[in-house]
Amino acid sequence: MARKITYQQAINEALDQEMSRDPSVIVMGEDNAGGEGSPGEMDAWGGVLGVTKGLYHKHPGRVLDTPISESAFIGAAIGAACNGLRPVAELMFVDFMGVCFDQIFNQAAKFRYMFGGKAETPVVIRTMYGAGFRAAAQHSQCLYSLFTHVPGLKVVVPSNPYDAKGLLIESIRDNDPVIFFENKVLYTMEGEVPEEIYTVPFGEAAILREGDDVTIVALGRMVNMAQEAAEALQKDGIHCEIIDPRTTSPLDEETILESVEKTGRLVVVDEANPRCSMASDIAGLVVRKAFGALKAPIEQVTAPHVPPPFSDVLEDLYVPNAAKIERAVTRVAEYR
Amino acid sequence: MSGIHTLTMPKWGLSMSEGRVNAWLKGLGDPITRGEEIVEVESEKIAGALEAPASGVLRRRLAAEEDLLPVGALLGIIADADVADTEIDAVVAEFLANYVPPSEEEEGGGSVPGKIEVGGLRIRYLKLGAGGEPLILVHGFGGDLNNWLFNHATLAVKREVYALDLPGHGESTKDVADGSLDNLTDVVIGCMDALGIPAAHLIGHSMGGAVCLNVAKRSPQRVHSLVLIASAGLGAEINGDYITGFVAATNRRALKPLLSELFSDPGQVTRQLIDDMLKYKRLDGVAESLDRLAGKLFANGSQQMILAEVPEVFGKPVLVIWGKEDRIIPARHAPKAGGKVRVEILEGQGHMVQMEAANDVNRLMESFLG
C-alpha cells in the first residue's frame, strides 16, 4: 500500500484495468482523441483534462471520440448499455448535463422499472463538478443532489484516490446507471492506492475519524476540509467524527444515524447550494430518525444560494472551507 | 553526556510517518527500569507502548498528550537523578537543533518491500537487517507482513529478517491453488530458493505456524529453529465461527466483532485496522482465496492438518508462544515442554500476542535465538 498516485491517475487506472479485464467496457467522450489544434490521434488528449490519456492507444477501437453533442452521445452510451456493452461516458462538466436530462432521467433511470425488472442499463457517466477552478458559473456547479433525487440512478462522489478507483470499478460492474462525480480540484490529490483491482461497495459510508463530540458529514472535496478542521478542533478539545457517505444514492443512513446517536451534534458540509441539497436531505434524515439524540440544532456549511462567482475573491468566499467548518462545529459543540 | 537517553516517536510499519501521544504511563520524576512501558503512542493504524531504552528517572516530558508528532520527534528524556538539569537542557537543545522530520520521499526509504516470482506467483516480502542467520516471518490466515510491525525491526538488529505475504494475502498474487498447506509450504520453500536462503530460522503465527511446521517436516535441513506463535497444526480445535465469519464478512459491522476475538484488548481493533482489513478483503481474488484455504485447512470448524509430532521429531530448538486467553486456537494445543521444546504461555493475552504483548514476545524470541 505504499504506492501513492493521484485521484486522476486512480481513475485512469480503474478504467485501464477494467478494460483489460472485461472486453465489453468502452470509453467515450469529447476530446478523447483530439481537440482543436491538436495533432489528433497521435497525441490523443484523453478528455479535456487528460484523465483518460493513454487509453486510446492501449485499447484500440474502444475509446471513442464523440461530437460535441451531449444529448447524442449520452443517448448512444445508454443505448449501448442496453445492448450488452458497459460504456463509460465522460460528460466533461456536470453543468452541461441539462441537455441530456431526458436520456438520463426519463430513459436510463426508468428502464429497469418499466420493463418488469428485466432490463439492465450498465452505463457509467463520469463528470467533473465543483468550484475553485476559476471557471465561472457554467463550469463550477455541484449538482449531485439533482441526480440523487431521481430513483433509478446511483450517484457516486469519491473524496480521495483510493475511493475513486474502487468506486469506479464498482460503478462499471454495476448493472444500473451510475453518475460518477469527480471534483476537478481533487485531481492532483495523492493517496495510497493498491495496484491490484478492488471495489468499494455502494451505500457504505467511510468513517475517516472517530470522535464523541460532534458528527461531521461531508462529501467529496469537503471531506478533506472537514479533516483539516477536525485536526484544529482537537487542539481545543473538540473531538469530531467524520463521515463520508461516498455515495449519495444509495445513502448509508445507518452509519450517519449511529454516529449522531453517539454525539448528539451534527454539522453537514456540502459544496452544493443549500436548497434541496444533500445537506438538507441529511439534516432531514437525522431530524426524522434521531431527533431524540440531538443536543443542538444541526448546522449546514454550504455554498450560498447564488451561482458560483467568476471573481477569484468571491469564488473563494463561495466555497465552504476549514475555517467555516470550524466555526460551525464550535457553535454546535458549545450549544447548551 | 552519557547517561542521558532520548525517547523518540517510533516508526511502526512502513506507512507510519507520524504518531499521536495517547497517554504518558509514567510521571515526571518517576524512576524507570529499562524495558518498562513509558508512553502510549498511536499511529494511524495501531496503538502501542514505548519501552524505556535505559533505566533512570523520567526527567523530561517534552510531548503533551494528544500531540501529533513526526517519526523520530523527541518525546522525553531519561537520565539518572544526579545528572544536572543544564546537561539535560543541552541535550534537548542539541536534539531540536539537529532534528529533521522525515520527508515524504524518505518515508520507508531503505526498507521498501520487494516482489519475487515463485512458481508463477508474485510474492511480496520485506527484508530488514543484514548478516547473521536469516530469519523468516510467516503470518496467519487473513494476515500479511504488517502483522510483524512490532517485531520485525527488533529481530533485525542482529540478523536479516524477511517477512512474507503468503499467496492470497497482502500484496502477493491472489491465487492459493488448491488451498492446501502443502501449496503454501511450497511457496515458502520457493521463496527461500528465490532469495538464496539455504536455511533459516522460521517464525510462524497461527496458520503461518502450521506452514513453518510443514517446512520443518518436509525440509528439516533448511530450518535452523522454529518459533510457533498461537500456531495452527498442533491440534484439531479452531474457532470455526471466526473462520466462517471472517470469510463471509463484507463490511465494518460484520468485521468488527470478529476482529475483536483476535485481541485481549478490544480497543486494539481501531477504525483503521478494520478499514485496512476491508481494503484487503475487497481486492479481486481475496474472497475466493480465503474461501478455498478455509475449506481445505479448517473445514467444519476443525483443523485438517495436524503436525503435532513435528516439534519433537524435528530435533532442533523450538519455541512455542501462546496467549492464555486465545479465542481462536486454544493455548492447550501447546506441546509439552522438554528436550529442545520450550513453551511460554502469556497470561491474559489473546491470539495476536506478538502485537499486543510485542515487548514480551520480542524478549522471548531474542533470548531463544541468542
ipTM: 0.89
Q: Which residues pair with A88 in a beta bridge?
A: A27, A124
A198 falls within a domain: no
Whether residue B118 sits in one domain with residue B42: no
pLDDT, position A102: 96
Buried b (16+ CB within 10 A) or exposed e, B183-207: bbbbbbbbbbeebebeebbbbbbbb
Catalytic residue positions of A, numbered: 139
Q: Which grid coordinates belong to B339?
A: 528436550
Quick check: A6 contacting B, CB < 8 Å? no
pLDDT, position B234: 97
Q: Which of A98-107, A121-130, A206-215, B66-75 has the lowest mean pLDDT?
A: B66-75
Residue B109 has pLDDT above 70, yes or no: no
B108 contacts A198? CB cut-off 8 A: no
Whether residue B329 sits in one domain with residue B215: yes
Residue B52 has pLDDT above 80, yes or no: yes
Domain holding B44, by residue range, is: 4-98
Report the residue from A162, A198, A234 with minimal CB separation from B284: A198
Looking at the 3D structure of chain A, how many domains does it have?
Answer: 2
Q: CA torsion angle for A69, A75, A79, A82 (degrees, to 10)?
A: 140
Looking at the 3D structure of chain B, how many domains does it have?
Answer: 2
Domain holding A255, by residue range, is: 206-334
**Among candidates A28, A48, A31, which has minimal Cα distance to A39?**
A31
Quick check: B252 contacting A, CB < 8 Å? yes
Report the residue from B15, B66, B275 with minimal CB separation from A2: B15
Compare all CA atoms of chain A with the CA of B253 and give the residue at the minimum distance.
A255
pLDDT, position A36: 60
Min Cα–Cα distance to chain B from A3, Å: 10
- Alpha-carbon distance of A100 to B57, in angstroms, equals 73
B106 falls within a domain: no
Whether residue A162 sits in one domain with residue A53: yes
Confidence label for B108 from pLDDT (cuts 50, 70 and 90)? very low
B250 contacts A194? CB cut-off 8 A: no
Residue A2 has pLDDT above 70, yes or no: no
Give me chain B's average pLDDT, please: 92
Residue B360 has pLDDT above 80, yes or no: yes
**Among candidates B225, B222, B185, B189, which has minimal Cα distance to B207?**
B185
Min Cα–Cα distance to chain B from A138, Å: 37
- Alpha-carbon distance of B84 to A114, in angstroms, equals 84
Min Cα–Cα distance to chain B from A269, Å: 22
Q: CA torsion angle for B351, B357, B359, B363 (degrees, to 10)?
A: -50
A280 falls within a domain: yes
A115-145 pLDDT, tens per residue?
999 999 999 999 999 999 899 999 999 999 9
Compare all CA atoms of chain B with the CA of A199 and give the residue at the minimum distance.
B282
Whether residue A64 sits in one domain with residue A160: yes
Q: Do β-strands B18-24 and B161-164 pair in parallel, antiparallel, or remain unpaired?
A: unpaired
Residue B59 has pLDDT above 60, yes or no: yes
CA dist B221 to B189, B217, B224, B227, B317, Å?
12, 10, 8, 16, 13
Whether residue B92 sits in one domain with residue B129: no
Domain boundary residue, one of B73, B98, B123: B98
pLDDT, position B1: 44
Whether residue B120 sits in one domain with residue B79: no
Residue B332 has pLDDT above 50, yes or no: yes
- Alpha-carbon distance of B141 to A110, in angstroms, equals 45
Whether residue B194 sits in one domain with residue B77: no
B55 falls within a domain: yes
Whether residue A162 sits in one domain with residue A41: yes
A73-113 pLDDT, tens per residue?
999 999 999 999 999 999 999 999 999 999 999 999 999 99
Domain boundary residue, one of A192, A227, A261: A192
